[in-house]
Structure 1
Amino acid sequence: MEPRRNVLLETWMAEEGHSSRSLAEAINTEVGRLTGRDGGYDDASVRALKAGRIRWPNAVTRKALEAIAGRSALALGFVPRSRTPLPGGRQQEDVDMKRRTVALGGVAAAVAAAAPSSASRRIGMSDVRRVQDKFTEIIASDHQHGGKLSIQQRAAQLADEALAMQNAGTATQRVRSSLYASAAAFRSSAMWAAIDGRRYAEAQANMREAQALAEMSGDMAIKFRIWSHAGAMYRHLGRHGDALAANQVARSLNIVRRDPLFAALGLARQAAIHGLAQERTNARRALDQAREALFRADTGADRPVWLTAFFDEAELDSLALNAYLSLGDFPSAEKHGHRCLAQLRPAMARSRAITTTRLAHSQLGQGEPDAAVATAMKVSLSAATEHPRVSRMIMEFGAALRATAPRSSATRTWTDYTATWRTA
């Protein structure tokens, strides 16, 4: 006898916008909260639930599903196992009818309980998606401008708006977790804008807010982003021990073991930290492992926009450039700088300015002041004068140029060129 499909579960999943994969991830997260261990669910496990092959999941899975959906296992279409053997024929049909009646009654009760009162409304995934659309705008602004105080403030404001929605009406646990994850994502963008703008005290304040929200959301991807950003922040501060510890927290999350793209980013950023610490062998090994993980990553997988919007082979080469520049291996740094610029997406204006400036430093380190100045002059005026991190790198380039080639024509060219900035 063919199992009956769990239509109630399928209907609920469609209403909430859940795919088999996203529900599996939600179950794993909730099981992790309940037991401290990953649930081990995947797409096939959820398809078995929908197909009716599993009519009554185990107790932990039921509790996880009830927490996610905000309704009982019966209301989700699951049918308890009979405690005693049942005879066939009409009596079996009567029992099945009673079970369906109980299940439908549970749905009615759940709907009635979730119905918004006159003083509130129901918050759903469509509301979450509108919030997430604003996050995409923040990501685009960051890649175009980066480090701006206005981006930091806007991201913090949107985090507060996402939290305010928690009190605007009734919602399922999934919706509430998604809103906390969105608020954490906005706070992590505020944190990154502050890091990029060298406002480190503000970055740490936003980091603490983001970490608390991420814990409430249970979202492993946003936890990874926050701790990975913390590693970058400590690296910029020159605290390589703290940077390595923070990045290791990111790399220890389950999502890194499940998705090679997260593993690749964690390893590439670790390589940059090893470079800062003058750990040449560790830096090279981490870069090799990062590239291997990047090639293993499924390009069609569903991932958060903050990751897919920037991390690719160009970003890996950018981090390799950073690592080799710190190590004083200028030829390797220059090679990765050229590779990064050749692959960089057109919208990545901030990344292009940073990579170009680092490339100029690598050329100067090889005793080529003319080539270095020609490269540095490709950095846009707005980035060189308005972006705090790029401005500092450009100043350091000028100081290194004057120290290594004080009487060269390249130094005179650079001095005359930068003098025009004050009148522009």
Structure 2
Amino acid sequence: MASSKVTSSPSPRPPRPNLAFRELRGQRSPAEFAAAVRRAAREIGERVSCDARYVGRVEAGEIRCPNYAYERVFLHMFPGRTLTDLGFSPRSSVRGRGARTSEDAPPAHLASPAYATGETGGAHEPYDTQDPYDTHHDYEESDVLRRAFMTSGGATVAAASLSPMGLAHDATAAERPARRAGTRDADALEEAVRRIRLLDDRHGADGLYRRAATPLRAAYALLDAGATRQTTAERLHSGAGELAISVGWLAHDSGRYDDARSHYAEALATARMTGDAALEAHAFCNTAFLARDAGRPREAVRAAQAAQRVGRPVGSDRLMSLLALREAGGWAGLADRTGCEQALARAQALYERGPSDADPEWMSFYGEAELEGLEAQCWSTLGDWPRAARHAHRAAQLQDPHFTRNIALYTAELADDLARGGRPDEAAAAGLRVLELLGQVQSSRIQTMLAGTARVLLPHRRAAGVSTFLDKHASAPRVV
């Protein structure tokens, strides 16, 4: 999840699109190419948080020269080429550029010596495209964030850095800044969304939820303050809505269903006020997912169908595929096998049409692994344990290692399906793998699933490996 609080310095002419880089992306969507960049980074021991937005900024020419970590990754991906071959400007040509205008200068509460000493004067990809857990910190990274991550490194401490707007937890209206919001605030808000999603992918929701509420309050304070430009106001509304959904998901995944429902409703209201169809579809999508988990399958179907109605103009087949899966989950909860199978068939057909530039950025998680995982949940709800186990196994095998939480989720689903399908030894082995991952992931949802599996396996303690799993599960710490 990478973006920028510090955009490129102003230039006398608009950025020149990087056509060479666009050609290298080929038929892959920006999200798929970003995933390839992250995989290449891991191959050489780098960790970068490349996402679809970063790829778009490179192709638009906004990033004239990448930072050193990205340079190493790109040259590894395309051996024999130079930065110039990739469409970038030589590093020497972007050093020491002039001062920013007042609109582009970072706010005082975000400033740090890193900005003043930047080797390229902010012309290349800025500090916060770096993964907060990256040990290869470039000079651009905020000193405050660097200290927080280097001294503690845990998800809870990392989440403490999620308020880039500089508002205190208990700030009153009189204490909030009176200035109108600018592009820098919109950048910071969008970065907060990406940072939350990145931390959730790696560590799960439980350690993040309460901390993440702080930037959400700050986001709506920015909306109240007004914006300097209409385009900035639209970005702020979209960013605030996406942040509300992200915080709602953290509540959802940590079992706080009432809080999640409230946050999703807040995002839905924000979308409708501004006529943002993509945001409205996202809010309905998550509402459908929550309704299914909360035992309200008919509401899940209605919300998923509403999401499909408002989401069609977005033009993303992958979005419509995911929304069809949300509908399938609702039909499964109603024990309507025919309705579920029809929705699953639509989801698969839409997915096979491939990615496109219209795919929303937040859908970067939705690949073949997620498709398999959600289908596994449908068959599990319908009680077809062998079929559910096959899909859950495929989901865990296909998942990008970057998404630690999802690997734990799919493996927990697999363990439960195997246990209920009469294969206790295999279920115990899968359960042990989940317990290992729970050292990195904090998710009440996954813990609840694993507890259910343990109850199913209790009568099979004599089976190979089951007693070991049950003992380790009983001694494992629980998230409070």
TM-score range for the pair, normalised by the shorter chain length: 0.5 to 0.7
Structure 1 match to 2:373:
318
CA apart distance, 1:381: 4.3
Asked if 1 retains the 8 angstrom alpha-carbon contact of 2:298 and 2:331, the reply is no
C-alpha separation between the residues in 2 aligned to 1:326 and 1:413? Answer: 28
Residue pairs, 1:22-33, within 5 angstroms: none
Asked if 2 retains the 8 angstrom alpha-carbon contact of 1:152 and 1:189, the reply is no
Asked if 2 retains the 8 angstrom alpha-carbon contact of 1:272 and 1:322, the reply is yes
Within the alignment, does 1:378 sit opposite 2:433 as a pair? yes
CA apart distance, 1:370: 0.7
- Alignment partner for residue 145 of structure 1, among 194, 200, 203? 203
Residue pairs, 1:38-77, within 5 angstroms: none
Q: Deviations over 1:139-193 (max 9, x none)?
A: 1111122222x53234332223233334556522222122011111111111111
For the residue of structure 2 that corresponds to 1:190, the secondary structure is helix
CA apart distance, 1:406: 5.3
Structure 2 match to 1:113:
none
Q: Deviations over 1:296-352 (max 9, x none)?
A: 1334x05433112x1111111010010011111122112211211121111211111
Structure 1 match to 2:262:
205
C-alpha separation between the residues in 2 aligned to 1:196 and 1:241? Answer: 21
One-letter amino acid of the structure 1 residue matched with residue 193 of structure 2: F
C-alpha separation between the residues in 2 aligned to 1:321 and 1:139? Answer: 23
Q: How many residues are matched?
A: 306
Q: Deviations over 1:61-82 (max 9, x none)?
A: xxxxxxxxxxxxxxxxxxxxxx
C-alpha separation between the residues in 1 aligned to 2:180 and 2:250? Answer: 33
| Relative contact order, higher structure (CA 8 A, sep 6+) | 2
- Alignment partner for residue 452 of structure 2, among 396, 399, 415? 396
For the residue of structure 1 that corresponds to 2:355, the secondary structure is coil
C-alpha separation between the residues in 2 aligned to 1:377 and 1:386? Answer: 16
C-alpha separation between the residues in 2 aligned to 1:417 and 1:120? Answer: 54
Residue pairs, 1:102-181, within 5 angstroms: 123-148=181-206, 150-166=207-223, 168=225, 170-181=227-238
C-alpha separation between the residues in 2 aligned to 1:129 and 1:327? Answer: 44
CA apart distance, 1:293: 0.6
Structure 1 match to 2:239:
182
Within the alignment, does 1:298 sit opposite 2:360 as a pair? no
C-alpha separation between the residues in 2 aligned to 1:212 and 1:422? Answer: 39
C-alpha separation between the residues in 1 aligned to 2:379 and 2:230? Answer: 46
For the residue of structure 1 that corresponds to 2:266, the secondary structure is helix
Counterparts in 2 of 1:131 and 1:14: CA distance versus 1, 3 Å = farther
Structure 1 match to 2:469:
414
CA apart distance, 1:288: 1.6
Asked if 1 retains the 8 angstrom alpha-carbon contact of 2:314 and 2:358, the reply is no
Structure 2 segments unaligned to the other structure (5+ residues):
1-10, 18-176
Counterparts in 2 of 1:420 and 1:122: CA distance versus 1, 3 Å = closer
C-alpha separation between the residues in 1 aligned to 2:187 and 2:473? Answer: 46
Asked if 2 retains the 8 angstrom alpha-carbon contact of 1:120 and 1:170, the reply is no
Structure 1 match to 2:383:
328
TM-score, normalised with respect to structure 1: 0.66
- Alignment partner for residue 349 of structure 1, among 397, 404, 407? 404
C-alpha separation between the residues in 2 aligned to 1:422 and 1:163? Answer: 36
CA apart distance, 1:251: 1.2
One-letter amino acid of the structure 1 residue matched with residue 196 of structure 2: I
C-alpha separation between the residues in 2 aligned to 1:407 and 1:167? Answer: 62
Asked if 2 retains the 8 angstrom alpha-carbon contact of 1:136 and 1:305, the reply is no
Counterparts in 2 of 1:422 and 1:129: CA distance versus 1, 3 Å = closer
Structure 1 match to 2:324:
267
Q: Deviations over 1:102-129 (max 9, x none)?
A: xxxxxxxxxxxxxxxxx97674445423
Residue pairs, 1:349-368, within 5 angstroms: 349-368=404-423
TM-score, normalised with respect to structure 2: 0.59
Q: Deviations over 1:355-389 (max 9, x none)?
A: 10111122223321111111111013462894211
Asked if 1 retains the 8 angstrom alpha-carbon contact of 2:372 and 2:392, the reply is yes
CA apart distance, 1:353: 1.0
State the percentage of identical aligned residues. Answer: 27
Structure 2 match to 1:246:
303
For the residue of structure 2 that corresponds to 1:379, the secondary structure is helix
Counterparts in 2 of 1:382 and 1:368: CA distance versus 1, 3 Å = closer
Please, what is the CA RMSD of the aligned residues?
A: 2.8
Asked if 2 retains the 8 angstrom alpha-carbon contact of 1:231 and 1:246, the reply is yes
C-alpha separation between the residues in 1 aligned to 2:256 and 2:268? Answer: 18
> When you count helix as a share of all residues, which structure comes out higher?
1
Residue pairs, 1:271-282, within 5 angstroms: 271-282=328-339
User: Which of these two proteins has the greater Rg computed from alpha carbons?
Assistant: 1
Structure 1 match to 2:279:
222
Structure 1 segments unaligned to the other structure (5+ residues):
1-10, 18-118
One-letter amino acid of the structure 1 residue matched with residue 190 of structure 2: Q
For the residue of structure 2 that corresponds to 1:253, the secondary structure is helix
Counterparts in 2 of 1:220 and 1:416: CA distance versus 1, 3 Å = same
C-alpha separation between the residues in 1 aligned to 2:407 and 2:271? Answer: 30
CA apart distance, 1:422: 5.8
C-alpha separation between the residues in 1 aligned to 2:448 and 2:477? Answer: 16
CA apart distance, 1:204: 2.0
For the residue of structure 1 that corresponds to 2:434, the secondary structure is coil
Q: Identify the range of structure 1 (380-389 vs 130-139) with the bigger mean alpha-carbon deviation.
A: 380-389
Counterparts in 2 of 1:382 and 1:261: CA distance versus 1, 3 Å = closer
C-alpha separation between the residues in 1 aligned to 2:226 and 2:240? Answer: 17
C-alpha separation between the residues in 1 aligned to 2:178 and 2:314? Answer: 41
Within the alignment, does 1:387 sit opposite 2:443 as a pair? yes
Asked if 1 retains the 8 angstrom alpha-carbon contact of 2:216 and 2:244, the reply is yes
